[in-house]
Amino acid sequence: MTASGGDVARPETDARFGARPGTLYVVATPLGNLRDVTLRALDVLATADVIAAEDTRHTAHLLAHYGIATRAVSLHAHNEAQRAQTVCAWLGEGRSVALVTDAGTPAVSDPGARVVRAVRDGGFAVVPVPGPSAVAAAVSAAGLEASSFVFAGFAPPQAKARRAWLTALARIPAAIVLYEAPHRVRATIDDLVATFGERTLVVARELTKTFETITALPLRDAASWFAQDDNRARGEFVLVIDAPAQIVDATASTADAERWLAALVEELPPARAARVVAAVTGVARDALYARALALKSATDRTGS
């Protein structure tokens, strides 16, 4: 990852936000730009007894940048089960541990979830130290039509499994957010086109790094977009597939119907309220009638 600017002096540690004994801290670290680290993260990293890092060499760059001398030990996908027990033992001795991954928030399509479960099951405190997240960064810059999204992580590497997985995701009435590696991104794009149909795709590549790219385009044009420049298939990817317009419109209509129904059922019989709202929103009258009965019943119980 590329740092922004030269090394800087770390702000003085605030003892109020330092690591406490017997506590695991799940610490978000920069995606690329080292200045995205939070002050609280620096406080915890500087005062923890141990830092459990996905790659100690990578984390050493961040620590050196801010003059932090805390010892780092490896905790990655291949040793997480063993390290989870070690971390619990350290916490039992009254030590504090900061968990970090190479970039972003631990346990979000990165190592960490198993350690968190073991620590929680062991009765020790788990404290999140929020900060950079590739999911949040990509969605915030996507300009989605959809009012909600589903984060699905990495697609399966095998073609058949990936196609089945994407087919299931395509049925969800929300935007879909995926991670993908450079050596598989073109194959995944081809499968997205085959399974999702007419949608808008946002490609967020190398977020916060020197060659950051955020591009919105019709999904059907994505393969040719990648083919125009080999550099576009390099780096780390977040792919955001917006919900189709008809799903967004239907979701909005349902929300509008709920608001109308809640207001009208106080003044009209359920059947008439359902008929009026169906005419206004286009939502099925039978579904609205069932919902109106439920709202009327709840209102009667509250008023009694």
8 compared with 2, residue with greater pLDDT: 8
Residue type, 106: P
What percent of the chain is modeled with pLDDT above 90?
71
Note whether 154 and 251 are same-domain residues. Answer: no
Does 1 score more than 50 pLDDT?
Answer: no
Note whether 124 and 20 are same-domain residues. Answer: yes
Q: Are 89 and 110 in contact (CB under 8 A)?
A: no
Tell me the per-residue pLDDT of 234-272, one tens digit each, with 9 for 90 and over.
Answer: 999 999 999 976 665 555 567 777 888 888 888 888 888
Does 304 score more than 60 pLDDT?
Answer: no
Tell me the per-residue pLDDT of 160-187, one tens digit each, with 9 for 90 and over.
Answer: 999 999 999 998 888 999 999 999 999 9
Specify if 2 maps to a domain.
no
Note whether 70 and 143 are same-domain residues. Answer: no
SS3 152: strand
Note whether 145 and 223 are same-domain residues. Answer: yes
Note whether 186 and 292 are same-domain residues. Answer: no
Specify if 239 maps to a domain.
yes
The DSSP-derived string for 16-70 is GGSPPTTEEEEE-B-SS-GGGS-HHHHHHHHH-SEEEES-HHHHHHHHHHTT---
Note whether 116 and 158 are same-domain residues. Answer: no
Note whether 209 and 282 are same-domain residues. Answer: no
Specify if 53 maps to a domain.
yes
Tell me the per-residue pLDDT of 269-289, one tens digit each, with 9 for 90 and over.
Answer: 888 888 888 877 777 787 788
CATH at 109: 3.40.1010.10
pLDDT at 248: 57
Tell me the per-residue pLDDT of 90-136, one tens digit each, with 9 for 90 and over.
Answer: 999 999 999 999 999 999 999 999 999 999 999 999 999 999 999 99
Quote the domain boundaries for residue 152: 135-243
**Among 243, 258, 273, residue at a domain's last position:** 243
187 compared with 146, residue with greater pLDDT: 187
Long-range interactions of 248-256: CB distance < 8 A, separation 24+: 248/145, 248/146, 248/147, 250/173, 251/146, 251/147, 251/148, 251/173, 252/147, 253/281, 253/282, 253/283, 254/281, 254/283, 256/280, 256/281
Specify if 107 maps to a domain.
yes
Nearest to 50 by CA among 66, 71, 23, 69: 71
**In total, how many domains does the chain have?**
3
**Among 73, 101, 132, residue at a domain's last position:** 132
Burial class (CB in 10 A: 0-12, 13-18, 19+), 81: exposed
Q: Which two tokens stand for residue 203?
A: 């490609």
Note whether 188 and 176 are same-domain residues. Answer: yes
The answer, as to whether pTM is greater than 0.85, is: no
Rg of the chain over Cα atoms, rounded to whole angstroms, equals: 24
Tell me the per-residue pLDDT of 18-51, one tens digit each, with 9 for 90 and over.
Answer: 999 999 999 999 999 999 999 999 999 999 999 9
Give the span between the Cα atoms of 170 and 4, in whole angstroms. Answer: 38
